Amino acid sequence: LNGCNFAGPNSLSIKENDSAEFRVEITGKPKPTVKWSLNGRELSPSLDSNIIIKSFDEVYTLKIEKANVKHAGEVVVTAENSAGMIGKEVVLKVEPDLMKPVFKTHLIDRSVNEGEPLRWDVSIERPYKGVTVKWFLNGKELTSSENVQISDDGEGKYHVTISEAKPEMTGTLVVKATNSCGTSESHASVEVKPFACKPEITRPPQDHIVEENETVKFSAIVTGKPTPTVSWYMDGKKLENNTEIGVKFDESTGKTSIKIFQAKLSDSGKKITLKVENTQGQVEANAMLTVNKKSEPPSIVSEMKSRQVNEGETVSFSVKVTGYPPPEVTWFHNGEPIVPDGYVQTFCTKKRNDQIID
C-alpha cells in the first residue's frame, strides 16, 4: 500500500469464556478496506453474535466475547485499496476452562410399540476435545450394531438410534459424558409395548387310540402375544399335574402337552380339549381318546372231555376259551372242519363254546 504503516495485531492466549481483542493500526492511501477472518472464515457481526468489529481513524479492532475452544486458531487481518493488498496472521489460543461436562440437552422418556424405532439426542455445553460419551441400556453399554447406531455429530451433539425396539429393552437409558474433571449423566425411562395378537393353535392335538394301561400323549403348538395361558380338559374337567397326568407348556417355543400315564377303559370316548387364552382372545381345539382293552392271545382254559354214547344218542362237547378280541373257534372231526347242519350244532356263550351232535 502506498505509504503503508501496519502495526499489530499480536497473538493472544486466553482462558475459555474470556474475551479476546486484537488491535491493528493501518495507514494507507486511499484508505484501505479492512477484513478479519478466523480459521479461513470471514467474520461478520451480523452473523456472529459474539463478534465486535470496530474502526476509529486508522485503528481497527476485533473483539471475540466469551471465547470458547472452537474460536482457537488462526486470525488473519487484511487491508486492501486500489494500490494493493496486505495481511497479517496471528494465533489465538483458548485454554479450556476445565470442569466436568454439563448437558445442555437431556434425554427424554420414550414409549413405543415393539418393532418401532427409537432415537435420543443430547448436547453438551462448551464442547472440547477430551470428552467421551457412552450409552447404557439397563446397565449394559450399547455398541454400534445392525440394530443400534451411535453417532458423534460434532460440536457437542450426540445421538443413538435403535432401529427396532424389543420388549426386553424396557427399563432405563443412561448417557454418560466424561472428561478429566469427572462424569455427568442423563437418564430416561424406556417402555417398549409388546406386539399383541390373538392366540392361535398352529398345530392342534390329534386323536389317539391306545390300549388300556398304556401311556398316551396329546401335544400341540400355540402362539400369541402376550404369551397365552394354556389349559387342558377331559370332557370339561380341567387336567392338572399329578401322579396320573403330566401337563407341560414351554413359553419360549409354544409347545404344550399332556401325558396320561395309564389310560383307563372308562376314559375311552372322552373328548380332550386344549384352551389357549390371552388379553386378545381365546381359541380351543379338540381331540378324541379311544382306549381299547388290551389284546390277549387265545387260550383254552377248560379242555373238552371224551364221550362214549350209543348210536343215535345226542352227545355234547364243550370248551372254555379266553382272548381279546374274542377269538374265532373252529371245531374239527377226524381232522376235517365241522360244518353245522341238521345233525351238528355249534354255539358260543360268554363262558363257553359248545358243540352238540345228534
Interval 179-197: pLDDT, tens: 888 899 999 999 999 888 9
- Return the minimum-mean-pLDDT range out of 82-86, 168-172, 273-277: 82-86
Alpha-carbon distance of 69 to 295, in angstroms, equals 94
Identify which has the larger pLDDT, 196 or 272: 272
- The confidence band for 129, taking pLDDT boundaries of 50, 70 and 90, is confident
Q: What length does the chain have?
A: 358
CATH T-level topology, domain 103-193: Immunoglobulin-like (2.60.40)
Cell of 253: 417355543
Cell of 109: 422418556
- Report which residue type is found at 307: R
pLDDT average, residue stretch 298-313? 87
pLDDT at res. 350:
65
**CATH class (in words) of the domain with range 297-357:** mainly beta
Looking at domain 197-292, which of 3.40.600.10, 3.90.950.20, 3.30.70.1400, 2.60.40.10 is its CATH number? 2.60.40.10
- Report which residue type is found at 325: P
Domain coordinates of the chain in residue numbers? Answer: 2-95, 103-193, 197-292, 297-357
**CATH class (in words) of the domain with range 2-95:** mainly beta
pLDDT average, residue stretch 319-343? 86
Could you tell me if 57 and 26 are in contact, meaning their C-beta atoms sit under 8 angstroms apart? no
- 242, 241, 245, 249: which is closest to 274 by C-alpha? 249
